[in-house]
Structure 1
């Protein structure tokens, strides 16, 4: 797809020919998004930490997998440059990189703990946005999606640093979405409640039950459900929504 492709033509194509980068694509929601996007017609490049172990479901369909560390801006720039070279450009970037951190009372969480959460979850998201936006603005089209959390809207007890990092991400998305709304580039977020991912599976059984009890649907969401929401947000049809937070909360969200 070239920069000269019209908005009408994009809408007719759906995701066919769209070039999508998934950061944090080796596990969880990122790994679920790669095959869903590819099945919708997108050409996908996936990146994660150098230590990532890539599942076959991703490597079978991604045109490219590579290393990135969202706390190291040069690696983010290099990953996007590599993807643009391999795919012939980038139409969408999906950022699923993030960590949960310790689930402890706030007074037991150290400044270093919170700094690490902010560095990866918030500053990492800003770095991805900062590196992806210029080329998208130049071509007059783009989609950026960050995976935030319901904790960023409501605040989760014993997850102070995590909640703060995701709240910051949401504010960042709202700011960038407004700033570039007329450019043809949308910047949005998803706020999942608890989703069956390695982050949730790493919680104690007691904490998992606490989290599940907060969800009116009385179950955790699935990574595939989030992946299909991502598929819509990166599509041409989602052209009039930017600076927005899409909930995937099983009814937990109150606003």
Structure 2
């Protein structure tokens, strides 16, 4: 089995949702540590304009052909794939389930869950052929606990947990670990610039939001030798908010 040292080894990495937030922080961190990183995000995304440590490609995770084309392009450029991190996702509206349309619910599933499956399906055979891989999907505390007014989002993120646990068992003997990260409130553009309320902070034992950089550091650990015997697991990133 291939061994992994995250210091200057030039690992071949694909970060999906890399234009901003946790994805951008992860791509920047891995790129700064000497790895070969390609970031992918929507064609409409506004990428950082300076100091980039990674290449950029357009990808729509709801379009399976786009996913397959980008994965093929990354493999062609890098000669394979070692680490794939999927941070792509949308929140949707906060509204009662009785007001959430089937179309809104379906969009949340297509972006947050079906897209994750399409990406997994595209990259896992590449990793299996190489006998090594680290696949990391982002779920949410909403997927573990459910959030009132966010039925579609909660369901889509719960689906990520089931997806990861099933795939992890399937590929465990192939030298691939597949894990999820479940953030609570993280200070990223996904919050749309809304400052946390006192009530929000009261629910977090650490009394603060998490940062994209802390998420990137956790990604780096999951891809490291220190986590090589952990697969099918959901890593908490909630400042102590999660109850299990």
Please state which band the TM-score falls in when normalised by the shorter chain.
over 0.9
Asked if the contact 1:194/1:212 (under 8 Å) is kept, the reply is: no
Corresponding residue for residue 51 of structure 1: 44
Hey, what's the Cα distance between the residues in 2 that align with 1:86 and 1:140? 19
**How many residues of Structure 1 are paired with residues of Structure 2 in the alignment?**
244
Corresponding residue for residue 24 of structure 1: 17
Corresponding residue for residue 220 of structure 1: 209
Q: Does 1:254 align with 2:240?
A: no
Query: Residue by residue, what CA displacement relative to the aligned partner does 1:192-219 show, whole Å, maximum 9, x if unpaired?
Result: 000011111355x5x7554333211111
Asked if the contact 1:14/1:235 (under 8 Å) is kept, the reply is: no
Structure with a larger share of its residues in helix = 1
User: Structure 1 length normalisation: TM-score?
Assistant: 0.91
Hey, what's the Cα distance between the residues in 2 that align with 1:222 and 1:22? 17
Q: Structure 1 residues 167 and 106, CA, compared in 2 at 3 Å: closer, same or farther?
A: same
Query: Residue by residue, what CA displacement relative to the aligned partner does 1:153-187 show, whole Å, maximum 9, x if unpaired?
Result: 01111111101000001110011011111110111
Q: Does 1:232 align with 2:221?
A: yes
Corresponding residue for residue 154 of structure 2: 163
Among 121, 124, 137, which residue is 2:112 paired with? 121
Query: Residue by residue, what CA displacement relative to the aligned partner does 1:10-37 show, whole Å, maximum 9, x if unpaired?
Result: 34x6452101000000011001111111
Pairs within 5 Å for 1:83-102: 83-102=74-93
Among 161, 172, 183, which residue is 1:181 paired with? 172
Asked if the contact 2:2/2:131 (under 8 Å) is kept, the reply is: no
Hey, what's the Cα distance between the residues in 2 that align with 1:113 and 1:230? 30
Q: Does 1:193 align with 2:188?
A: no
Asked if the contact 1:26/1:52 (under 8 Å) is kept, the reply is: yes
Hey, what's the Cα distance between the residues in 2 that align with 1:221 and 1:30? 14
Unaligned runs of 5+ in 1: 1-5
Over aligned residue pairs, what C-alpha RMSD do you find? 1.6
Among 210, 214, 230, which residue is 1:241 paired with? 230
User: Structure 2 length normalisation: TM-score?
Assistant: 0.95
Hey, what's the Cα distance between the residues in 2 that align with 1:167 and 1:144? 17
Asked if the contact 2:39/2:56 (under 8 Å) is kept, the reply is: yes
Hey, what's the Cα distance between the residues in 2 that align with 1:249 and 1:102? 21
Corresponding residue for residue 134 of structure 1: 125
Corresponding residue for residue 104 of structure 1: 95
Unaligned runs of 5+ in 2: none
Hey, what's the Cα distance between the residues in 1 that align with 2:193 and 2:152? 17
